[in-house]
Structure 1
Amino acid sequence: MTLEQLRTFLWVARLGGVRKAAEQMNISQPAVSSRISSLETYLGTSLFTRGSTGVRLTKQGVLLRAHAEQIAALVERIKADVMPSETVSTLLRLGVAETIAQTWLPAFLTRLHRTFPKLKIEVSVDISVNMREMLLDRSLDLAIMMGPVSDYSADNLDLPTFQLDWYRPLDMAEPDLSTTPVITYNRNSRPHRELTRELHERYGHTAQIFPTNSLSTGFEMVASGLGVGIFPIALGRRLVEENRIATFDPGWLPTPLRFTATYIGEPRDEFVAEAAQIAQTVAIEHEASIPGIHA
């Protein structure tokens, strides 16, 4: 019985199928099946029952999973305690929201590289609803997103919030929010949902919202006179200083954006957990370096 056999067994048990486990482990399905078969032969018992929708643990499989989870946790603890950080050469699949990508992501990547010089990083910039699905599907290791994720398997580290502000074209002195288009976050985001509700309650259903997947594009839309925008102060300040757009005050602001560094905590990967803690530290340092930007 080997650690690789137990690790493979755990992935099949967690994901409910050989194909999904093979994709997660980046090995072939026959390799997964061979490891499971060898483990069952060694233990002298069946660990799974096969069905049309996947596999399920037998009674003996349930018993083995409890032991295997403890072994896997101990292995992660050993790696965290014993392996020098400069020898870690794993791949970190990182997902980030655009707000983070345009603020403190470079500092975070620099800190990661300094801590783990052999680390390989694969970065995806996406909307939070997509990152949540990718995280739970195990195609991301760490997501810095509008959170938290409430699934039992996810761990969330709170990050500093981002205050929002209203932005207008320079030649639009007093925007009428009942008719002027409001440019903001993607349609499937929490800010879009909250803004839609607030605008309709305050100005009726004549209020218009133009969602965008790109914050940079949103700012350009405001600068070109297509409407007003509600965006993070941390991103809008430079354009205001360049006299390309201006702020205005309609008398209210949406809730600040809440972000989390979220990863799968069950099973726990100590390296990913440490990367999430580094992200939290960098985010707090970024907030402290720009007084008045964040809540």
Structure 2
Amino acid sequence: MTFKQLEAIYWVVHLGGFAQAANKMHTTQSAISKRVQELEALFDTPLFDRSLRSARLTEKGEEMYLLAKRLLEQRDAAVEQFQRPEVLVRHVRIGVTELTAMTWLPRLVSAIQAKYPKVVIEPHVDVSVVLRDKLLADEVDLMITPEVFDDQRFVSTRVGAVENAWMCKPGLVKRRGRHRMHELADQRLLAQDNRSGTGQLYNKWLRSHGVQPENALYSNSVVAIIGLTVSGMGISYLPKKCLAPMVEAGALEVLQVAPALPPANYAAICKSDRKSLLISSIIALAQETCDFSWMFQTE
């Protein structure tokens, strides 16, 4: 019995098919089938019910899948524990949102490569809901998103927070010092939609304060929201520190609104059954490097 055979049955079951397992393992579907057949021949028992079109396990197949999962986890843990960081070879897919990609992602990747020079990092940039689905489907190994998912299948570690503020094009809103939220109701709200973790957080927060915008434009892109705000299309909640240069340049104006927006906490999230020493180390590096205060960080 080999690890390649165990990996074959594990990924066929985990991803729902032989083709998906072949793609995951960078091989052919026939090679995956051969490895499964080798296991069946070794123990003289069918592992999949071939009377069905889908890859459904037999009773013995269920036992083999659980054994494969346990042995593969033990193998990976042993490798990570005893192999020096500088020679550890892995491919890690990290899902991040647009704001992280625009700010501190380069610093995180640099920190990982400095500690694990042979670990290949593959960033996936998308909205929080899509990243959550990718994590559940094992299409990413870790995601860094706003802390909005309460799911027992995940392990969540806070890495930082974003201070947001209401902003608009200078002069769009009459200067009257501090505003109450309902006083801005005649302005179009430019907001992130519920596919965004930040959108979920603030849309829920607005509802809790009795604010139901009738004139709103929703987008899943923070870059689009910034562009629309700069052009004078409405008001929006935007990250205060990293957009300070645009405020200083006169492209944006910060509005003083009460009550103030709560911070958007960010977390590094992985599946509870897939956490490893390497992922834990990367999460610790994310805590050290997380910084939303300026754009396109290189140091």
Shorter-chain TM range is: 0.7 to 0.9
Partner of 1:293: none
The DSSP-based 3-state class of the residue aligned with 1:156 is: strand
Match of 2:187 among 172, 180, 187: 180
Report if the CA contact (8 A) 1:92-1:119 is conserved: yes
Structure 1 vs Structure 2 CA RMSD:
2.7
Report if the CA contact (8 A) 1:158-1:261 is conserved: yes
Q: Are the structure 2 counterparts of residues 137 and 169 from structure 1 closer, same or farther at C-alpha, using a change threshold of 3 Å?
A: same
Q: Distance in 2 between matches of 1:51 and 1:234?
A: 60
What is the deviation of 1:39? Answer: 0.8
Report if the CA contact (8 A) 2:165-2:239 is conserved: yes
Q: Distance in 1 between matches of 2:26 and 2:93?
A: 13
Which protein, 1 or 2, shows the higher relative CO under an 8 Å CA cutoff with sep ≥ 6?
2
2:282 alignment partner AA: A
Q: Distance in 1 between matches of 2:281 and 2:148?
A: 18
What is the deviation of 1:143? Answer: 1.4
Q: Are the structure 2 counterparts of residues 227 and 264 from structure 1 closer, same or farther at C-alpha, using a change threshold of 3 Å?
A: same
The one-character-per-residue Cα deviations of 1:19-71 (angstroms, maximum 9, x if unpaired) are 22222222211111110000111112122223546223323223333332332
The DSSP-based 3-state class of the residue aligned with 2:242 is: helix
Partner of 2:247: 240
Q: Are the structure 2 counterparts of residues 54 and 258 from structure 1 closer, same or farther at C-alpha, using a change threshold of 3 Å?
A: farther
Q: Distance in 2 between matches of 1:73 and 1:187?
A: 35
Q: Distance in 2 between matches of 1:36 and 1:2?
A: 11
1:276 alignment partner AA: I
Unaligned runs of 5+ in 2: 176-182, 295-299
The DSSP-based 3-state class of the residue aligned with 2:70 is: helix
What is the deviation of 1:155? Answer: 2.6
1:114 alignment partner AA: A
Unaligned runs of 5+ in 1: 291-295
Matches within 5 A, 1:139-178: 139-147=139-147, 149-174=149-174, 176-178=183-185
Q: Are the structure 2 counterparts of residues 250 and 152 from structure 1 closer, same or farther at C-alpha, using a change threshold of 3 Å?
A: closer
1:280 alignment partner AA: Q
Matches within 5 A, 1:258-277: 258-277=265-284
Q: Are the structure 2 counterparts of residues 154 and 197 from structure 1 closer, same or farther at C-alpha, using a change threshold of 3 Å?
A: closer
The DSSP-based 3-state class of the residue aligned with 1:54 is: coil
Report if the CA contact (8 A) 1:187-1:212 is conserved: no
Q: Are the structure 2 counterparts of residues 127 and 116 from structure 1 closer, same or farther at C-alpha, using a change threshold of 3 Å?
A: same
Report if the CA contact (8 A) 2:146-2:198 is conserved: no
Q: Which of 180-189 and 126-135 deviates more?
A: 180-189
TM-score (normalised: structure 2) = 0.84
Q: Which of 83-92 and 33-42 deviates more?
A: 83-92
Identity %: 24
1:222 alignment partner AA: T
Q: Are the structure 2 counterparts of residues 78 and 206 from structure 1 closer, same or farther at C-alpha, using a change threshold of 3 Å?
A: closer
What is the deviation of 1:112? Answer: 0.9
Q: Distance in 1 between matches of 2:135 and 2:279?
A: 12
The one-character-per-residue Cα deviations of 1:197-254 (angstroms, maximum 9, x if unpaired) are 6656767656322223332332232222221110122332222222321211221234
Q: Which of 18-27 and 144-153 deviates more?
A: 144-153
2:191 alignment partner AA: T
Partner of 2:196: 189
Q: Distance in 1 between matches of 2:8 and 2:149?
A: 26
Equivalent pairs counted in the alignment come to 287
2:279 alignment partner AA: V
Matches within 5 A, 1:1-295: 1-50=1-50, 52=52, 54-147=54-147, 149-174=149-174, 176-193=183-200, 195-196=202-203, 207-283=214-290, 286=291
